[in-house]
Amino acid sequence: MAEKFIIKGQRPLNGIVEISGAKNNAGPILAATLLTKESCLIDNLPLVEDVLDMIKMLESLGAGVEWQGEKKIEVTVGEEVSPEKLDFSLVGKTRVSVLLIGPLLARFKRLKFAPPGGDKIGLRPITTHVDALQKLGVKIKRENSDYFFDASELKPAKIVLKEFSVTATENLMMVAAGIEGETIIKGAAAEPHVQDLGEMLRKMGAEVEGTGSHTIKIRGRKDLKGVSHQIIPDHLEVGTFLVAGALTPGTIEIKNLIWDHLDIFLARMEEMGVSFERKENFLRVNFSPDLKPIKIQALPWPGFPTDLLSIIVPLLTQAEGRSLIHDPLYENRLNFTHELRKMGADIEIVDPHRAFVFGKTPLFGIRISSWDIRAGACLLLAALMAKGETILENVYQIDRGYEKIDEKLRSLGADIKRITV
């Protein structure tokens, strides 16, 4: 059954919000458990749809999954696990499934795989993955829509990626961790979740250097160990609640964050005039009615994250003047702006990658629909500041990436209800 949010806007938000584990980090960490026959204990899992689907995919493969607490699981990938058991209906449901390719090839050598699903933000082929895997000796053919991988002649290599692809980098790291010898990845992504995957692989026994830069060196081994690992806090959720605090009267304290993951984002928010204070272990955000327009482009890490570009658009509608947003990667990233315009936003789409946002513009409640995870969060933020009642449909998209966001917002004073239809 479908669910929707009913939000009555312009309510003050006050209180403390605890940030959950990072969804984008949990996917590769869970996938990496396939690299060892020993048990792995994974803690601080965000209970969101994409992560729960990844756990279901592990179970479909035959992995043993035991919950040790509300957000902690033990994963054991024993002899009964087989790639042939993989549930393709789950693979086609979420993009995170693509992260199974690397560890399954390292462990089992042969694999049939369906095209992964995910957000409708533009073409997201796995050609970067395919090209890079071929350099490691993987033979790949495609029949109809399915891929067939043969890694029986897997070998270390020097690889130059065609783009700063996060998932391709993570897949290569996991394959390389299971190969004896040194693999070098140039043009690697450097996001926090890539860095944290490197830390897990080091715990498992691989030698990993250079995470956080665009050149990663990995010396793998065949007998990787089971480990305990805790998922890092989600800097994208921090950004989302910072915008919520800036848009609505009141003060929000955001706890459980890593400052180094927020440098660029906070610098641009300060440039806009967002009122916030850094404390020792939390971020305090105040209502910010006097905002300045900016020009902002999504860039590979440590640049401004593409996933936060959508999130800041409601702020830009309240900035005095013209702002420019540019996402050079995804040609459909800005499609959600059509929904914002229904609410009264003055937005001009220049081309599929760029848009002007004109402010200051009042927003009004109306019936709108989520497009993808971050677009859904953007529309939810707009609804919190809009006059009147907003009906936000297809909230499944938001649930894929945010853990109980409606409950967290209610605890701060938001008037938001979840309705099943």
Q: Where do we find the tokens 């393709």?
A: 88
- Listed residue (232, 261, 265, 233) closest to 246, CA to CA: 265
3-20+233-420 matches 23-230 in fold: yes
Q: Which residues sit opposite 323 in a β-bridge?
A: 357
Question: In this predicted model, what pLDDT tens digit does every residue of 101-156 receive, in sequence order?
Answer: 999 999 999 999 887 764 443 344 688 888 999 999 999 998 888 889 999 999 99
CATH number of 3-20+233-420: 3.65.10.10
Cα 88 from Cα 230, distance rounded (Å) = 28
- Listed residue (173, 207, 178) closest to 188, CA to CA: 173
Q: What is the pLDDT of residue 122?
A: 38
pLDDT at 336 over 90: no
Question: In this predicted model, what pLDDT tens digit does every residue of 289-331 receive, in sequence order?
Answer: 999 999 999 999 999 999 999 999 999 999 999 999 999 876 7
Q: What is the pTM of this model?
A: 0.94
Cβ 370 vs Cβ 393: under 8 Å: yes
Tokens of 400: 């894929």
List of E strands, 133-243: 139-143, 146-150, 158-160, 181-186, 207-209, 215-220, 228-230
- Domain residue spans of the chain: 3-20+233-420, 23-230
Q: What is the pLDDT of residue 119?
A: 42
* 232-247 exposure pattern, b = at least 16 Cβ within 10 A, e = fewer: bbbbbbbbbbbbbbbb
Continuous H helices in 62-186: 88-91, 101-108, 127-135, 166-177
Computed over every residue of the chain, the mean pLDDT equals 93
Cβ 257 vs Cβ 233: under 8 Å: yes
Contacts of 119 (CB under 8 A, 6+ apart): 95, 372, 373, 374, 397
Spacing of C-alpha 297 from chain mean position? 18
pLDDT at 333 over 80: no
Question: In this predicted model, what pLDDT tens digit does every residue of 400-415 receive, in sequence order?
Answer: 999 999 999 999 999 9
Q: Which amino acid is at 289?
A: P
Q: What is the pLDDT of residue 253?
A: 98
Give the other-Cβ count within 10 Å of 65's Cβ.
Answer: 16
Residues in the chain: 421
**Would you tell me which CATH number, out of the four given (3.30.2130.30, 3.40.50.2000, 3.65.10.10, 3.10.20.30), belongs to the domain 23-230?**
3.65.10.10
Average pLDDT over residues 370-393: 95
Could you give the percent of the chain with pLDDT greater than 70? 97
